[in-house]
Structures are given as structure tokens and as C-alpha cells.
Amino acid sequence: MPEKDNHNMRDDNHEIATDGGMSDVEREQQIDYMDVEINLLKPATPFMRDHLRIIWIGFAIWAITTFAPITATRIAPDVMTTQMPLIGFPLHYFLLAIVGPGSALLLSVWYARKRDQIDEKYGIEQGVVETETTETVPDDATATDGGADE
Amino acid sequence: MIDSVPMLAEFSIDALEMAPLQADEELLPEGLDISFKLVPSIIVIGMMLMFIVAGFMFKVADTDDMWVAGRSIGNLENGMAIGANWMSAATYLGVAATVAVSGVYGLAYVIGWTTGYFILLIFMAAQMRRFGKYTAPDFVGDRFNSDTARSLAAVTTFLIGFVYALGQARGMGLVGMYILGDWSAVTGGLLTGYQTMMVIFMVITIAYLSLSGMLGATKNMVLQYVILISAFLLGLLVTGWASGYTTVLPQLEYGMMIDSLSSEFSEPFAGGSYYLWIATCFSLVFGTCGLPHVLVRFYTVQNERVARWSCTWGLFFICLLYLSAPAFAAIGTALYGEEIGAVYGDPGMTGAAGDVLVVLAAQLAELPAWFVGFVAAGGIAAAVATTAGLFIAASSAISHDIYANIINEDATQRQQVLVGRLSIILIGVLTIIFALNPQQPIAALVGFAFSLAAIVLFPMFFLGLWWEKTNRQGALAGMTTGIIVWFIPMFNEGNFGLLDGGFGIEVISTWMPAIGSALIGVPIVFAVTIAVSLVTDDPPLETKQMVRQCHSPDPMPSDKTAADIVAEKNRSGNAPADD
């Protein structure tokens, strides 16, 4: 009964929203992800809310560091092409060739760390399963994989 | 479709203002010393042998290893593999070439090819890992419950691999010629020097790849990364030092040189308009997020945390080279100007000279031949590594997504691996034929593949992962529109000899250049997909649950896919199951 499902989901969300007595972590533990809608703009769970917040902050900064320097150069070419003291770069060249890629890298480190912190907050641990190696597994082992329960 | 051997069509890319390469002589870069060089040859041959041995040691017989390396790859290792997979001849040779030839416009490539990884990281890497299938078309097929969508994605993957590999083949041929000399006599004059070298290197690549599969390719990529990055960085350092332009940190010191170079090097919009810059950068960023051979690297890791960190590591490894490429371009441009002639204007530096500028710069700085050979070897390693990733992605599209999922559902592992190998040979032969007369600089050839990935595949991955109401009809309509949209500028500009000279409609070539067509194409495909999804029925609940599972923070075992978890859940719980 798929059409009813949507309805249930709204009820769930409603409950979560009005339940002020629980911490984010406790609320998160009561959620079954099979029942919550994935929405980029309206996160349905505390975890998704925390996660989407860093996604959007990161995306906004990224958009600026990626497209703003060239746009500024288009608007104010004279200011943007002034030579920088000490390192000698024209400003626009420095922002494009070094700041652009560099800030994407810093943002990535920032995001990955933030996301680890969120994982920690919600007590999420990534399983590191000893994976099968080529040497020890016969050819058809993967084909007959029964999905052994952990 | 592309079905004829390319004719030597006249064309020009607005941005690059290249003279058409009408004959092979024009493919011979002026100033580059084409001759057999003993020590460099030993380095390159030794390197290729090493790849084959490593590939043979990790020879595979089952599909898990063939396509996803047994999902056993860790953080740093995958980061390096991402780097090697990524840094093709287009990066190693093409970025410095474009920055040198088209100035600030070339920086759109530097930014587009690095910052795209952040978008990939925040929106897709971990979710793709949780989805946990084998190939990018697998995602499309399973997410949208459609074999037609799967085939469209598979065909697109194949096309991307092919267009992209053309640039790599061109790089291998040009650099190979520098190291081993002109071997056209071997073919009795049937093939030119460039063609002979390109064929030789492509054949070796295909041989090693069809033996080793993804596991061997991943192990090799780490090796290839180390070779290519040390060759590039040492090459830059030594070239800058020997020519007296820079000392210990050329990546920053070249700022001081910019003043002394022709104004075309740094003047904004001298090599391409603002619009073209944005369009190119946009295409490259979102192409990065749609490239099947990049996405599949996230299927090869243990868990989603490794997917995230290896993406970050990958970007770090990539940045090492991209922060250095403009420095190489500056030094190369200065040396070229001093020793050969004017870089800009007419005649100026040709595309072929630009494409080997990294090697040429080392040679012009009068470095010993063995060292120049080492720098050149790095270029070949880059081309081989990327071709490997591309061909694996393309062949898995044929073997796994089309053969095993649609044509012969009972295919055994052995049959699948065989079809995989045959399709590697097929795409290799196609690439060789079309690369005989490459008409575009490396970076431009590769740029077309990015537009295609951005227009056709990126919206499917993004909406598929983030909007659970995207349905089959929406995906099919979106992908079909995307493929048509991609071909419009390709025909218009007459690339690959599609229509002799193309339509040449000016409005289209101005606002929708093939190299940056995603700026217009991506929003169109998004709109079509969303509109069609809205007016048709929602996808089944299982599909929605699969999307939700991709975003759930709950850890999941590395050998399960989101679909497995959903199926188990529905079997034990009370949710409706339709099997």
C-alpha cells in the first residue's frame, strides 16, 4: 500500500518534530531510514539535518572560490589584474591558478573531518570487514555468495 | 553515431584558435628532437614491462576482481589510484599546453579538473559506495528499474571511454615518437611516425589491460601515480632551476615571471571569452561527477568513510600536479619564446608543440637526455593509467551491463570476463583507428567526453541519489534529451569529421560550444527529468527505500548493496514486497 506510506511518513516526521524531550542522538536512534523521505532541501532526521548543513555551507563556499574570481575579473579587470606584492602574480591569476584548486582541497579536508565528527556524535562506526583476497577465494565463491549475516 | 573514419575536416575551436592539422608534418612539434634515444627508451620500455608484470601478477578470473578489485582497496591506495586514473595525458601534457597556448582560459581546465572532486565528495562518493554495485550503468539500471536506461548509460559510458581515449592515444604517440624516434619505416611507410608509435603503445596497453582487469589496474595505478607525479614535479623543479627561472618552489615563483611573458599569457579573456570560461569550467566540474571511470573507484573501497577520505586524498594527489602545471607552462613558454620563436600570433606555437610542452621545456632547458626521457615516461604512464581506467569502465559497460544483464542473463563468470576482454580489444581498435588522424589538442578531445558525462550521466546520478521521486520515465526522457543535446554542438562544429565542416551555426557555436555544452545541457536535462517524473507515477517503494538506504548513517557490510538490505528488510518486516 504505497499511497498510505506517504501518509505514515508525514506522521512520523510530525512526532519527531514535536518531541522536544529527546536529544538529536536519541531521536536519530528511533528512526528507520526506510521510512524517511530523502530531500535535499528538507532534511527529515537530525543526522540528515547536520549533514546537509555542512554540505550546503561547503557548496556555497565552493561556488564562490570557483566562479567568483573569474567573474570579478570580468567586472573589474583593472583591479583584478594588479600585481601582487612579493609573489608577483597578477591577482586574478593567483586566485584562479592557486586559490581555486587549493580551496577545493581544504574544503574537502574540512568536509571529511566534519562528517567524521557527525558520525562520532551519532555513534556511527564504519565496519572494516576483512575482505576476501584473490589468493584465498576460489573463482566461483563470489558467484555463490549467500550473503552471510554479520 | 560516429561510424566513419574521420575525414580531415576543417574546423577550429574558438577558444584555442588552432590551425587545422591537415597533415602529419603539422603533428610533428617544431623544436622537439625526434630521434631514438637509448636511455629514455630503456626507461620507457622498462616501465611498460613493469606494468605488464604487475598486471600479470594480479591477473583476475572472477568478475568481482575484474570490475571492483574485490572491494579491498584502502584510503591512500585508492587516493593514488584516483589520482592516476584521473591524471591522464590531458593533465600531464594537456593542461600545461592549454595554459601556455590559451592563457587564462586554460585555467578553466585547472579549476574544473580539481574542484569537481569536492562536489563529487559532498554529494556522491559515500552514497555511491553504499549503493554498492559494479558499474555506473548498474546504478542507472537498478535505480530506475529499466534495462533501456541501463543500455543508454552503458552506451554513453562506452562513448565517453572512446572519446576520452583518443586524447590519450594522441599523447602516447607524440611522446613515444620523442623517445623512440620515427619508426614509420617498420610499416613500409604505410603509417607515419606518429601513427606507428601510437599503435604500438595502444597495443601494449590493451594487452596488459585485458590480462589484468581492475585489480591489476588498481595495483598498477599506484605505481603509475608515483612515476607520473615524481616525473612531473622533478621535471618542473629541474627545468626551472636549469633555465634559471625558479629555484625551490616553482609553483609560487613563476608569479615573478608572468610580467616578462607575452601579455597573452595572463591577460584575462585573451584566449577565450568570459562565457566560454564559465561554460568550460562548468562542463569539467560536472563531467567529473558523471564520469563512470571516476565513480567506479568508489565501488572499490571497503566502506563509505574510506570513500570520503580517499576522495580527499585523491584531490590532494591531483592538486600536486595541477598547482604545478601552470608553472611548467610559464617556464615552457619562456623557453620556447627564447629558443624557437614567438609563442603567440602567427605562426605561433602549434597545438602539437603545446601538447608536448612539458617534454619540450625539459629538452630546451638542455637537461640530459635520460632526464628528459624520464619526464616523457611520466606522460606515457599517465596516458596508460587513464586509458586503463576508461577501458575497464567501457568494457564493463558492455560485458556486465549489456551482455550479462540483458543479452545472456545466465552468463557464467568465465563468459563475462571473456566478453569483457573482447570489448577491451574492440574499444582499443576503435580508438586506434580514430586516433590515426587526431584533429584536436589533447585537452579539447578530453573536454568533449566531459561534456557528455556531465549532460547525460551526472543528472541521473545526482537526482537518482537525492530525489527519490525520480522515476524510470524521467530518467529515460532525460538521458535521451541529453544525448541529443550533446550531439548538437558536435555536429555544429564538425568534430570528428561528423559532417564535413559542420553546420557552423554561429549562435550555437557561441553559446553552446562542444567543449562547454554542459552549461546549457545540464539544466535542460534536469528540467526534463524532473518534469517527466512529476507527471508520471512515483517509482515503487523498494526503489525509494534503496535511495534512503544510500543516505542512512547505519553502517552496512561491504559485500552488500543497498538493494540487498532493502530486500532483507522487506522480507523480515511487514513492508510490502513485490517479489
Is the pLDDT at A138 greater than 80, yes or no?
no
Chain A residues closer than 8 Å to B259 by CB: 83, 88
Per the CB < 8 Å rule, is B258 touching A88?
A: yes
Lowest mean pLDDT among A100-109, B210-219, B408-417: B210-219
Is the pLDDT at A16 greater than 50, yes or no?
no
CA dist A137 to A134, A142, B78, B554, Å? Answer: 6, 8, 22, 28
How far does the CA of residue B279 sit from the closest CA of chain A (Å)?
11
CA dist B494 to B10, B110, B500, B505, Å? Answer: 8, 26, 6, 11
Which one of A125, A134, A136, A149 would you mutate to disrupt binding with B, by most B Cβ within 10 Å of its Cβ? A134
Q: How many Cβ atoms from other residues are within 10 Å of residue B12's Cβ?
A: 13
Minimal Cβ distance to B311: which of A108, A124, A129: A108
Which one of A105, A125, A135, A137 would you mutate to disrupt binding with B, by most B Cβ within 10 Å of its Cβ? A105
Tell me how far apart the alpha carbons of residues B172 and B497 are, in angstroms, rounded to a whole number.
22
Per the CB < 8 Å rule, is B118 touching A145?
A: no
Chain A residues closer than 8 Å to B566 by CB: 34
How far does the CA of residue B411 sit from the closest CA of chain A (Å)?
11
Task: Compute the average pLDDT of residues A28-52.
Answer: 83
Decide if B108 contacts B277 (C-beta within 8 A). Answer: yes
B52-62 residue pLDDT tens: 787 777 766 56
Is the pLDDT at B112 greater than 90, yes or no?
yes
How far does the CA of residue B43 sit from the closest CA of chain A (Å)?
31
Decide if B163 contacts B448 (C-beta within 8 A). Answer: yes
- The count of CB pairs under 8 A between chains A and B is 211
Which residues does residue A39 pair with via DSSP β-bridges, in sequence order?
B467
Which residues does residue B180 pair with via DSSP β-bridges, in sequence order?
B36
Per the CB < 8 Å rule, is A112 touching B309?
A: yes
Q: How many Cβ atoms from other residues are within 10 Å of residue B10's Cβ?
A: 13
Minimal Cβ distance to B115: which of A36, A62, A80: A62
Minimal Cβ distance to B564: which of A81, A88, A147: A147
Minimal Cβ distance to A126: which of B117, B123, B555: B555
Residue B368: name the closest of B34, B28, B40, B45 by CA: B40
B510 reaches A (C-beta below 8 A):
no
Residue of A nearest to B274 (CA): A74
- Three-state SS for B438-485 is CCCCHHHHHHHHHHHHHHHHHHHHHHHHHECCCCHHHHHHHHHHHHHH
B266-319 residue pLDDT tens: 888 888 899 999 999 999 999 999 988 788 878 777 788 888 998 999 999 999
Is the pLDDT at A101 greater than 70, yes or no?
yes
Q: How many Cβ atoms from other residues are within 10 Å of residue B411's Cβ?
A: 18
Residue B576 confidence (pLDDT): 47
B477-514 residue pLDDT tens: 999 999 999 999 988 887 766 666 677 788 888 888 98
Is the pLDDT at B24 greater than 50, yes or no?
no
Decide if B166 contacts B386 (C-beta within 8 A). Answer: no
Residue B308: name the closest of A101, A55, A130 by CA: A55
Is the pLDDT at B579 greater than 60, yes or no?
no
B131 reaches A (C-beta below 8 A):
no
Per the CB < 8 Å rule, is A59 touching B122?
A: yes
Per the CB < 8 Å rule, is B266 touching A67?
A: no
Residue B28 confidence (pLDDT): 66
Q: Which of residues 465-484 of B touch A (CB under 8 A)?
A: 466-468
Tell me how far apart the alpha carbons of residues B85 and B173 are, in angstroms, rounded to a whole number.
19
Minimal Cβ distance to B72: which of A65, A131, A147: A131
CA dihedral in degrees (B481, B113, B389, B199; nearest 10)?
90
DSSP secondary structure, B179-244, as one string = HH---GGGGTTSS-HHHHHHHHHHHHHHHHHHHHHHHHHHHHHHHHHHHHHHHHHHHHHHHHHHTT
Chain B residues closer than 8 Å to A116 by CB: 305
How far does the CA of residue A87 sit from the closest CA of chain B (Å)?
6
Which residues does residue B73 pair with via DSSP β-bridges, in sequence order?
B301
How far does the CA of residue A96 sit from the closest CA of chain B (Å)?
7
Chain A residues closer than 8 Å to B322 by CB: 101
The SS3 of residue B124 is helix
Task: Provide, rounded to the nearest whole percent, the portion of chain B with pLDDT above 90.
Answer: 28
Chain A residues closer than 8 Å to B315 by CB: 104-105, 108
Is the pLDDT at B155 greater than 70, yes or no?
yes
Residue B213 confidence class, pLDDT cut points 50, 70, 90: low
Residue B36 φ then ψ, to 5°:
-75, 125
Tell me how far apart the alpha carbons of residues A111 and B213 are, in angstroms, rounded to a whole number.
33
pTM: 0.84
CA dist A102 to A97, A111, B208, Å? Answer: 9, 14, 35
Residue of A nearest to B285 (CA): A66
How far does the CA of residue A95 sit from the closest CA of chain B (Å)?
10
B424-462 residue pLDDT tens: 889 999 999 888 887 677 777 788 889 999 999 999 999
Rg (chain A; Cα; Å): 24
How far does the CA of residue A21 sit from the closest CA of chain B (Å)?
22
Chain B residues closer than 8 Å to A81 by CB: 266-268
Tell me how far apart the alpha carbons of residues B135 and B469 are, in angstroms, rounded to a whole number.
22
Decide if B111 contacts B309 (C-beta within 8 A). Answer: no
